[in-house]
Structure 1
Amino acid sequence: MTNSRGVLSLATAVLLLVAGTSCANDDGDPTDPRSNPPASSPSSSSPTSTSPSESATAAATATVNDYYAIRNQLRRDPTQPLSMLKSVTISTELMTQQTLFKRERKQGLHQTGETKVVELQVQSVNLDNSDPQAGKVPTVQIDVCFDVSGVDVLDADGKSVVTPDRPDTGWIRYSVANYQWDSDPDGAWRIASSQDIERTPCDA
């Protein structure tokens, strides 16, 4: 049985702090700054910058979060359009998910509850964009442990089709790629592929 996958949003922010001050005499007379120093002013801090790798990690992680949220939505409400998958998937993953959802909807299946992300671990970041036509594009590899203990899948008659021995948690490795890196380095990240992996179960 195909495990449900879910997502919670996980992203980073950059704070820009710029402080400034000026000093002037109340009476307007010039004074020697050495004998009358300016009042204490807030210290200025330079803008916090993020590296391309950090930005890619944040954007790819956000995509994974959105992916799980959209899958939960589509499985709970079969009337929602499958075109929503294009905002978070591409390539093999898009075709796989479209096939899965079409089959489940044809069978009259729908989900109750929500798949949750228990752990999310970034395994690698590769920003090589040397040959997009051949699939050599910036890619972030992310491992996700999901929890489906609160999820049930019902048929058209409202009966559960979940087997009693279904594990509550599992691990999946995602390759999140950006095929439009040159024009949209932050917003064009999509999950390109995924695979189940054998790892020690995480705590649900």
Structure 2
Amino acid sequence: MTKSTRVAGAALVLGSALLASACGDGGSGKPSSSTTSSASPSTGSATHPSAPTSTTSDPNSPATRARAMVDQYFSVSDRCLFDPQSAPMTCFDGVAIGTELDSLRNTLTSAKTAYTKQIGSTQVISVKQTKIDLTNKPKETPPSIPIVTYSVCFDVSKVNIVDYQGKSIVPPDRKPRAVETVAVANYQYPKATGWRVAYTQPTGKTC
């Protein structure tokens, strides 16, 4: 599976910032102690009020729990990058697992190394369930894990990534909106709190 459109984009600009930093300061990759960021604190909320909520009456049903995790995933993945230097590597453990968790941790590591941070939050515009499969046979080869798949439209027009001087490193041609597939799995099924985003995959579409 490929990385999230947001995560892959962040990793790309963070990698570029790290390279530029290394070339400019003898390879240490760190700003001088006298340098302070001119970026203002994030004012973007880590919530996504525009996203529709599940209408399932049972709060512990698979559909309700998996759908709620989509919002939590976007909120937490944003929040952990607001202040990377203070964020622990376990920051994403409550919302992601598998390849998606690896991608998020790699992005956080890059942000810590390059002294970059995110300003503003991703806005979830719409979430459409496209598939649900609750087959639970974890001991089979290959294993079958309960998974709910969504098509998510999100907006990053208010999201900026800045370097340690407060300068934006977001490519000017970044599209404000995109659609990606978000798969939420439960490796502890039927435990209601076991849902995590297992992978995200860009569709190449806008919304």
Q: So what's the TM-score if we normalise by structure 1?
A: 0.72
Q: Which amino acid aligns with 2:118?
A: Q
Question: 1:3, CA displacement in angstroms?
Answer: 4.0
- 2:123 aligned with 1:116: yes
Could you tell me which of 168, 172, 186 is aligned with 1:178?
A: 186
Are the structure 2 counterparts of residues 194 and 123 from structure 1 closer, same or farther at C-alpha, using a change threshold of 3 Å?
same
Seq. identity, %: 29
Q: Which amino acid aligns with 1:66?
A: Q
Kept in 2, the 8 Å contact 1:11–1:59? The answer is: no
- 2:193 aligned with 1:153: no
Structure 1: where are the runs of 5+ without partners? Answer: 15-49
Offset from partner CA, 1:18-47 (integer Å, 9 cap, x none) = xxxxxxxxxxxxxxxxxxxxxxxxxxxxxx
Kept in 2, the 8 Å contact 1:149–1:168? The answer is: yes
- 2:123 aligned with 1:83: no
Question: 1:11, CA displacement in angstroms?
Answer: 4.2
Aligned partner of 1:37 in structure 2 is none
Q: How many residues align?
A: 161
Q: Which amino acid aligns with 1:8?
A: H
Aligned partner of 1:8 in structure 2 is 48
Are the structure 2 counterparts of residues 119 and 95 from structure 1 closer, same or farther at C-alpha, using a change threshold of 3 Å?
same
Between Structure 1 and Structure 2, whose CA radius of gyration is higher?
1
Kept in 2, the 8 Å contact 1:141–1:174? The answer is: yes
Question: 1:80, CA displacement in angstroms?
Answer: 2.2
Cα distance in 2 for residues equivalent to 1:65 and 1:158: 28
Structure 2: where are the runs of 5+ without partners? Answer: 1-5, 11-45
Q: Which amino acid aligns with 1:163?
A: P
Kept in 1, the 8 Å contact 2:130–2:149? The answer is: yes
Could you tell me which of 64, 70, 75 is aligned with 1:64?
A: 70
Cα distance in 1 for residues equivalent to 2:127 and 2:88: 27
Aligned partner of 2:22 in structure 1 is none
Question: 1:193, CA displacement in angstroms?
Answer: 1.0
Question: 1:7, CA displacement in angstroms?
Answer: 6.2
Aligned partner of 1:17 in structure 2 is none
Cα distance in 2 for residues equivalent to 1:136 and 1:93: 18
**What secondary structure sits across from 2:101 in the alignment?**
helix
